[in-house]
Amino acid sequence: MKSENIFRVIAFGDVIGDPGRKALFSVFRKIRDKFFPDLVVLNGENAAHGFGITQPIVKQLFENGIDVITSGNHIWQKKEIFDFIDKYPGLLRPINYPPHTPGHGCAVIQKGDCKAAVISAMGRTYMDPIDCPFQRVESEIEKLRKEGINIILVDLHAEATSEKQIFGWHFDGKISAVWGTHTHTQTSDERILPRKTAYITDIGMCGSIDSVIGMKTSESYRKVIQHLPVKFSPEEDGSMEVQGVVIDIHKKTGEATLINRIKEKVG
């Protein structure tokens, strides 16, 4: 049961192509009926055959209970993204791309008597050197606070664990939660930081775990061991899992009260 004072969020990790979306929707109702979330966020950067996202997939996700789609470095991979990225307030690209990049990095969602902001941000260590995520997120928080929004959630799409951890410490007490994505491997370090920000380094992915981060192992073998060119594709077989987190936030204070991992086997 959930108290009336609690705003509950579920965030799902990067959904890997068609197998990931099928896995997600085969257990989504069960997860929703168990937790009764107020807001559901999903990282969609790999939703279209492992790379990028298409408009039919965006529609499918929004029509089936996903409130906000965050993303990361793969968001631009399907060329048609530029035709529709500005059409959907809930479809985000990392906020710290340079000014005038198409799309937007923050969505404010009204749910019942609560307004919550979701920010998609991206790290820079071993990744593209885009604008500083710390400064950019800080200025966005300032803006949101002036609008009276105290539930602020960040998907930090980053490679380096250390960058994610310092992000957590830097924003502890300034946001309700930050969760990591991009490495597609769920970490077991979920916790509430001292100033009541929920934190986890990586929430994982939705797709086959008999794979290399959701992609076919044979292709990784070719690329990493044989050093041959390869076009990666999502693993369609093996054990499927839907991974993410559930986070409880106090509606009045914006402080996190709980963070638990979701790691649901499919089939």
Which residues are the active-site residues?
A: 74
User: Following DSSP, what letter does each residue of 222-261 receive, concatenated?
Assistant: IIIIS-------B--SS-EEEEEEEEEEETTT--EEEEEE
Dist. CA 111–CA 182, nearest whole Å: 27
User: From the CB of 3, what's the least distance to Fe ion, in Å?
Assistant: 34
User: From the CB of 34, what's the least distance to Fe ion, in Å?
Assistant: 25
Dist. CA 54–CA 56, nearest whole Å: 6
The H or E element containing residue 141 is helix 133-146
Residues that bind Fe ion (CB under 5 A): 14, 45-46, 72-73, 182
User: From the CB of 142, what's the least distance to Fe ion, in Å?
Assistant: 27
Surface-to-core class of residue 211, CB atoms within 10 Å of its CB (0-12 exposed, 13-18 middle, 19+ buried) = buried
Dist. CA 234–CA 48, nearest whole Å: 10
Residue number, 120 or 257, with CB nearest to Fe ion: 120
User: From the CB of 186, what's the least distance to Fe ion, in Å?
Assistant: 13
Residue number, 172 or 236, with CB nearest to Fe ion: 236
The encoded tokens of residue 224 equal 């990493």
- Let me know how long the chain is: 267
Residue number, 73 or 150, with CB nearest to Fe ion: 73
